[in-house]
Amino acid sequence: MKFIDWTNLYEKYKGLWVALDGDNETVVGKGATAEQALEEATSKGFAEAAVTYIPQEVIAFAGQHEAPVHEAAARV
């Protein structure tokens, strides 16, 4: 599995939806909505682009927490 660094994506496309080429690094479309990003990608010939949202703020996460069933049920 190849490590992908999206640091530049976060800096350039904060708050936008982006369509990515098959390498999952090259932006081939962008927009305020997923539909806009995919439409731009499709117009450029990238009909199979993956679409993802780039958040305004990146929150680091490390670790794992598995809530026991009774904790998860109490939140519902």
Task: Tell me the pLDDT tens digit for each residue of 2-38.
Answer: 788 888 899 999 999 999 999 999 999 999 999 999 9
Contact 30/40 with Cβ under 8 angstroms?
yes
Across-strand partners of 19? 29, 51
Q: 72-76, long-range: CB within 8 Å, 24+ apart, which pairs? A: none
**Separation of alpha carbons 22 and 64, rounded Å:** 29
pLDDT of residue 63: 59
End-to-end CA distance of the chain: 36
- pLDDT band for position 58 (cuts 50, 70, 90): confident
pTM of the model: 0.72
